[in-house]
Amino acid sequence: MTLSDLPLHAPAQVEAVQDLHPNDAIARRLRELGFVDGEDVRVVARGPVGGEPLLVQIGFTRFALRRSEAARIRIRQEEAA
């Protein structure tokens, strides 16, 4: 599953960021921002037009991401306790 598919407020963890080509600057920047294996992530809000941008929270920091950027981030949803 990718971050762009995650329902609002559903808890998940980052698995990996997909590189589309060698030296992918966007994938590298996403990892620099904290989208690394094991980090807790959730989609906090979606924009009004086509659901873009996505407001994503990782840790205590929020980012606005395009759906195409969020689609690069593979996640695993946390099991319900």
8 contacts 43 by C-beta, under 8 angstroms: yes
Domain boundaries, the chain: 3-77
What confidence score (pLDDT) does residue 80 get? 56
Q: Residue 46 to residues 28, 71, 80: CA-CA distances in angstroms? A: 24, 14, 23
Structural class in CATH, domain 3-77: mainly beta
More confident residue, 35 or 78: 35
Model confidence, pTM: 0.90
- Compute the mean pLDDT over every residue in the chain, rounded to the nearest whole number: 93
Confidence of residue 75 (pLDDT cuts 50, 70, 90): very high
pLDDT-based confidence at residue 49 (cuts at 50, 70, 90): confident
- Residue 3, pLDDT above cutoff 90: yes
